[in-house]
Amino acid sequence: MKLHITCQYEENYGAHGWSGEGECPQHWKMKGGEDYFYQLGAETPNEEHLAELVTVLRTRCEWANVGSRQYMVSYCVVADDYMTDYEQSQLEYDGEITYPAVMLLPLAEVGVQINGTWYDDQYEMSGQE
């Protein structure tokens, strides 16, 4: 199983001609988005743990500045062989997937720590510091 995260990307057209003085004009336009996967392993985490995991992963998918921003719009648990609509479209029309969804690294590989506790690669809180 893997977690599928869908994000929305927006561009602030008001920032294009902004001089940097005063408040930046706000004129946000939707510009697509990005899909992310996170490998869950054989067992699906319970809802509480999944929500905690999503909170941590959100920091790896979302960002914002005066010119653009990206934020999570949905997530769901899918089968390991699941492909996004964009991946399916590439396969159908091009015969290959040139632009796959981003596979996020396991938390243990990027050293994610919350409240002084490290997450291991099975999404359980470990007591290691």
Alpha helices in 1-127 (DSSP H): 47-61, 85-94, 107-110
Residue 8 CB burial class (10 angstroms; 0-12, 13-18, ≥19):
middle
- Give pLDDT tens digits for 19-38: 888 888 889 999 999 999 99
- Give pLDDT tens digits for 99-129: 999 999 887 666 665 555 555 544 444 333 3
Edge-to-edge strand order for the sheet containing 2-12?
A: 63-64, 68-78, 2-12, 28-39, 102-103
| Segments making up each domain of the chain, as ranges | 2-118
Confidence (pTM):
0.79
List for the chain the helix, strand, coil content (%; round to 5): 25, 35, 40
> What percent of the chain has a predicted confidence (pLDDT) above 90?
59
